[in-house]
């Protein structure tokens, strides 16, 4: 088995070479301490997401586990799937620090650090919660725009705020803010998305007065102000021709200044032919509802705002080629600017976009990159599962992440991460059949053959997973399921939901504000941003 030292990984990370750096611990451990460029891909879910994050089998894949001993198992699985350049990173967290690296908390750190870097070195205009509240109370000419995805916005937002997800902002904001005299205030839950969105408005030249709400809804709540829940105000989908023309011109100007490469269909075909030797990601940056209605073969959904906010959830290979496309000539260019500035230098935009490629969902021909099913004789129906559990002849093990399991699971189910199934076996009744389930059954199907040879009892998979159980209107339990082993698979984000303590929210903001100095110490980020011109008004 190949091995690589932390020092060698750090040396590789500042080159332009391709590599995937995967942290195979659970998200809980990952969120407390991990290297900057490590991408979270828990061992339990490795086969489900590896092909999407690392589509090329010959790319170097570096596995990190912080000293927990999971990387060797991950390496064996990847080898079985055809990955032929896998290496285990030696040592643990202490060895990473000894090699001069920093350890970062939270998730999506490269994107969040980029936002802080932008705020620090470019000087993105911002206003405090108290300043925004005073403007709103005075009846000032203000437009308040929430740039998060609609599902986050609908949970909670500032009173009166209108939802315009990040990549749509430049495309649609003029429909909401026709006057140059209006002060446009954008916000998210914390800092990253609002900083990047406000800077996009400034850089476009279309909005003379634009600023971010400093610290987002966290700053609003910690200042003692109330939020609105269940809002449904959205920017119009139709953009008037003149506003579309101006948005396209602004996006092209930004892209030119950022050095974004524009490629045509012929060059894309060349890149596709070369994808066995140079990793290629193709992303449709339109919104999820648009993608659900019609899409283009070969392009995965990555709404532009979220692609910038959480780049490591979509891109698992540093140094890869990335092609972005839309159907409007605005969103892909604006998104590409930020990815290039973040250090993803091989980001390009498809010249004519998706307009001639889109087809209604159901007419695509491309097969999944990776598909693995358990043997048919291991599948068990919902009805049979209900009968066996009622007779106490079977136990159900739910392999979902703990938060998903808590939202709804088969009554009486035990919670057990896939990576710990063998460890949990002795605590189960000796003679009972084991029925594995997961949200859609895919993770359970992967785990069943591994467990079957070691369990010394029948092992089955609930066909269709917990979703099939729920679809048949079977009773569901909510709240934490009974864990068979200590579970550390989820990170509770202090900027999501409505039940976060003020202390946790403030601690998160303090951490974000310290990222610039931590990035400087680490020395591996490759952000490229130009400082603001002297005297530019905030």
What tens digit of pLDDT does each residue of 337-354 get? 999 999 999 999 999 999
Quick one: average pLDDT of 57-65?
98
The closest alpha carbon to 173, from 145, 138, 214, belongs to: 145
Sheet holding 433-437, edge to edge: 379-380, 459-462, 433-437, 394-398, 414-415, 482-483
Counting DSSP H helices and E strands in the chain, the numbers are 23, 23
With DSSP H G I counted as helix, E B as strand and the rest as coil, what are the percentages for the chain, rounded to 5?
A: 45, 15, 40
> How far is the C-alpha of 148 from the C-alpha of 131, rounded, in Å?
21
pLDDT interval class at 498 (50, 70, 90): confident
Q: Which two tokens stand for residue 476?
A: 């569901």
Question: In the chain, which residues fall in CATH 3.40.250.10?
Answer: 2-107, 113-237, 259-360, 376-483
Strand partners, 394: 433
CB 519 within 8 A of CB 117: yes
Please name the helix (run of DSSP H) or strand (run of DSSP E) that holds residue 118, with its range, or none.
helix 109-122
- Identify the bridge partners of residue 513 per DSSP, sorted by sequence position: none
7 and 15 Cβ atoms separated by less than 8 Å: no
User: What CATH number belongs to 2-107?
Assistant: 3.40.250.10
The tokens describing 328, both together, are: 């409007």
pLDDT tens digits for range 406-445: 999 999 999 999 999 999 999 888 778 999 999 999 999 9
The token duo for 495 is 């900027």
The DSSP bridge partners found for residue 324 are 283, 349
Between CA 210 and CA 182 the distance in angstroms is 8
Q: What is the CATH number of domain 259-360?
A: 3.40.250.10
Query: Is the confidence at residue 372, as pLDDT, over 80?
Result: no
Residue 44 Cα distances to 101, 108, 124, 391, angstroms: 27, 20, 40, 30
The answer on pLDDT for 166 being more than 60 is yes
Q: Please, are residues 386 and 472 in contact by the beta-carbon 8 Å criterion?
A: no
Residue 493 has pLDDT above 90, yes or no: no
> Side-chain half-sphere of 32: how many Cα atoms within 13 Å?
10
What's the whole-number mean pLDDT along residues 104-110? 97
The predicted pLDDT at position 191 comes to: 96
DSSP 286-311: S-HHHHHHEE-TT-EE--HHHHHHTG
What's the residue count for the chain? 538
Q: At 192, is the secondary structure helix, strand, or coil? A: helix
Q: Report residue 371's pLDDT band, with 50, 70 and 90 as the boundaries.
A: very low
Output the pLDDT for position 355. Answer: 86
Look up residue 11 and give its two tokens.
């040396």
For residue 307, give the H/E element and its range.
helix 304-309
pLDDT band at 373 (very low <50, low <70, confident <90, very high): low
| pLDDT above 60: residue 533 | no
Bin 500: left if φ > 0, else alpha if -120 < ψ < 50, else beta.
Answer: beta
Architecture of domain 113-237: 3-Layer(aba) Sandwich (3.40)
**Structure tokens that stand for 263 in this block:** 């490629």
CATH code given to domain 376-483: 3.40.250.10
* pLDDT at res. 363: 57
Closest Cα partner for 158 from 78, 220, 95?
Answer: 220
Q: What is the pLDDT of residue 314?
A: 98
Contact assessment for residue 222 and residue 505, using Cβ atoms and an 8 Å cutoff: yes
Could you tell me whether strands 359-360 and 294-295 are parallel, antiparallel, or unpaired per DSSP bridges? antiparallel
Calpha distance 300→179 (Å, rounded)? 36
Q: Is 241 helix (H, G, I), strand (E, B) or coil?
A: helix
Predicted confidence (pLDDT) per residue in 214-235, tens digit: 999 999 999 999 999 999 999 9
Q: How confident is the model at residue 499 (pLDDT cuts 50, 70, 90)?
A: confident
């Amino acid at each position: 088995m190949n091995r690589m030292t932390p020092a060698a990984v750090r040396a590789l990370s500042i080159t332009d070479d391709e590599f995937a750096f995967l942290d195979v611990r659970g998200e809980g451990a990952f969120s407390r301490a991990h290297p900057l460029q490590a991408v979270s891909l828990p061992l339990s879910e490795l086969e489900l997401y590896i092909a999407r994050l690392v589509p090329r089998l010959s790319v170097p894949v570096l596995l990190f586990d912080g000293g927990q001993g999971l990387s060797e198992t991950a390496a064996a699985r990847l080898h079985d799937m055809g990955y032929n350049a896998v290496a285990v990173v030696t040592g643990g967290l202490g060895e990473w620090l000894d090699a001069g690296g920093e350890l970062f908390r939270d998730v999506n750190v490269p994107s969040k650090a980029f936002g802080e870097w932008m705020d620090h070195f470019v000087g993105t205009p911002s206003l405090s919660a108290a300043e925004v509240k005073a403007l709103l109370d005075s009846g000032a000419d203000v437009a308040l725009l929430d740039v998060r995805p609609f599902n986050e916005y609908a949970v909670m937002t500032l009173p009166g705020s209108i939802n315009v997800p990040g990549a749509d902002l430049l495309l649609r904001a003029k429909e909401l803010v026709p006057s140059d005299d209006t002060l446009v205030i954008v916000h998210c839950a914390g800092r990253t998305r609002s900083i990047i969105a406000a800077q996009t408005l400034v850089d476009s030249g279309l909005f003379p007065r634009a600023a971010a709400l400093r610290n987002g809804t966290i700053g609003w709540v910690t200042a003692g102000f109330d939020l609105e829940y269940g809002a449904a105000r959205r920017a119009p989908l139709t953009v008037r021709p003149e506003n579309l023309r101006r948005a396209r011109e602004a996006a092209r100007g930004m892209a030119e200044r950022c050095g974004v490469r524009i490629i045509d269909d012929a060059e894309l075909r060349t890149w596709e032919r070369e994808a066995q030797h140079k990793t290629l990601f193709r992303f449709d940056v339109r919104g999820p509802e648009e993608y659900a209605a019609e899409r283009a073969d070969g392009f995965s959904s990555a709404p532009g705002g979220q692609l910038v906010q959480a780049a490591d959830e979509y891109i698992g290979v540093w140094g890869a080629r990335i092609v972005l496309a839309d159907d409007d000539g605005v969103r892909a260019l604006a998104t590409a600017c930020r990815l290039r500035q973040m250090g993803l230098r091989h980001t390009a935009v498809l010249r004519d976009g998706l307009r001639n490629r889109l087809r209604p969902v159901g007419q695509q021909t491309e097969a999944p990159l990776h598909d693995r099913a358990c043997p048919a004789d291991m599948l068990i129906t919902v009805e049979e599962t209900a009968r066996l559990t009622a007779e106490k002849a079977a136990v159900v093990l739910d392999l979902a992440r703990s938060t998903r399991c808590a939202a709804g699971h088969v009554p009486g189910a035990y919670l057990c991460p896939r990576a710990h199934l063998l460890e949990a076996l002795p605590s189960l009744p000796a003679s009972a059949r084991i029925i594995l389930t997961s949200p859609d059954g895919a993770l359970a199907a992967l785990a069943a053959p591994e467990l079957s040879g070691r369990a010394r009892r029948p092992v089955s998979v609930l066909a269709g997973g917990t979703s099939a159980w729920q679809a048949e209107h079977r009773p569901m339990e909510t709240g934490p399921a009974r864990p068979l082993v200590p579970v550390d698979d989820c990170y509770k984000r202090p900027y999501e939901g409505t039940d976060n303590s003020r202390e946790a929210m403030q601690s998160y903001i303090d951490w974000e504000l310290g990222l610039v100095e931590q990035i400087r110490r680490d020395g591996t980020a490759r952000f490229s941003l130009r400082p603001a011109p002297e005297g530019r008004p905030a």
